[in-house]
Amino acid sequence: MRDSGAPERFDVAFEMGCGTGHLTRRLCSNFEMRALTVNDLSPEAARAAKAAGATFLCGDALQMDWPEKPQLIASASMIQWLPDPARLLQRAARALAPGGWLAISGFGPEQYRELAHLGSHAGAPGLQSLADMAAALKDELDVFVTGERIREMHFPTPRCVLDHLRKTGVNGKAQGVWSKSRLAQFSADYSQRFGGPAGVTLTYHPVWIIGQKRN
């Protein structure tokens, strides 16, 4: 955002899906925000809001009232959990004040491709391509930055993949209840299809977009 010409100060800013506050802290360290409101489904995220001196709104971002005419709307790693991310993107674009900035990241269709190939339903419902994200915003925003990255992480065993998913909390559906036989079959299939000298892979596919609302 700074490299694209965003101002150093926003009077009204809104972050969706703040979680434990990773993006919140980055925003606060890079911009001055007179009034910052953050949102999350989990009441525990109120701690991140308090640490940032922000107002906290708990609940579904699509269902609640937002701050009026924010000059900045930001979100990281949240929209992929929505069945229709374009709806949220379009609401955000319409809600911005003229000249306001939008910075959104999510995950693309290659996210956790190993799990998908094995027939898992653990993938998030709203994985978005960059083209889909840009198309949802093209009528309201000038898009300055889009980006994506395919990253393969390596783990010693498939069991370590499951442990990673549990610890990160990014995919609750992958946790489930694992019987001994189900875990053994999963491990054998995963190792056969995605194993190599460096262990087994797990793919991340972050995507992001930054734009400014037309005056």
- Token readout for 13 is 């800013």
> Is pTM beyond 0.85 here?
yes
- Within 8 A by CB and 6+ apart from 39, the residues are 14, 15, 16, 17, 18, 56, 57, 58, 59, 61, 64
> What is the residue whose two structure tokens read 């977009």?
209
- Within 8 A by CB and 6+ apart from 139, the residues are 93
Tens-level pLDDT at each residue, the chain (215 residues): 999 999 999 999 999 999 999 999 999 999 999 999 999 999 999 999 999 999 999 999 999 999 999 999 999 999 999 989 999 999 999 999 999 999 999 999 999 999 989 887 666 788 989 999 999 999 999 999 999 999 999 999 999 999 998 877 655 455 556 789 989 999 999 999 999 999 999 999 999 999 999 98
- Token readout for 4 is 């694209």
Which letter, b or e, does each residue of 170-179 get, where b requires 16 or more Cβ atoms within 10 Å of its Cβ? bbeebeeeee
- Within 8 A by CB and 6+ apart from 96, the residues are 69, 70, 71, 73, 102, 140, 213
The whole-number pLDDT of residue 25 equals: 96
Q: How far apart are CA 89 and CA 210, in angstroms?
A: 12
Q: How far apart are CA 144 and CA 154, in angstroms?
A: 33
Q: How far apart are CA 209 and CA 168, in angstroms?
A: 23
The whole-number pLDDT of residue 48 equals: 94
Q: How far apart are CA 193 and CA 179, in angstroms?
A: 21
Inter-residue contact 49 to 55 (CB < 8 Å): yes
The whole-number pLDDT of residue 124 equals: 79
- Within 8 A by CB and 6+ apart from 172, the residues are none
The whole-number pLDDT of residue 169 equals: 60
Q: How far apart are CA 188 and CA 78, in angstroms?
A: 32
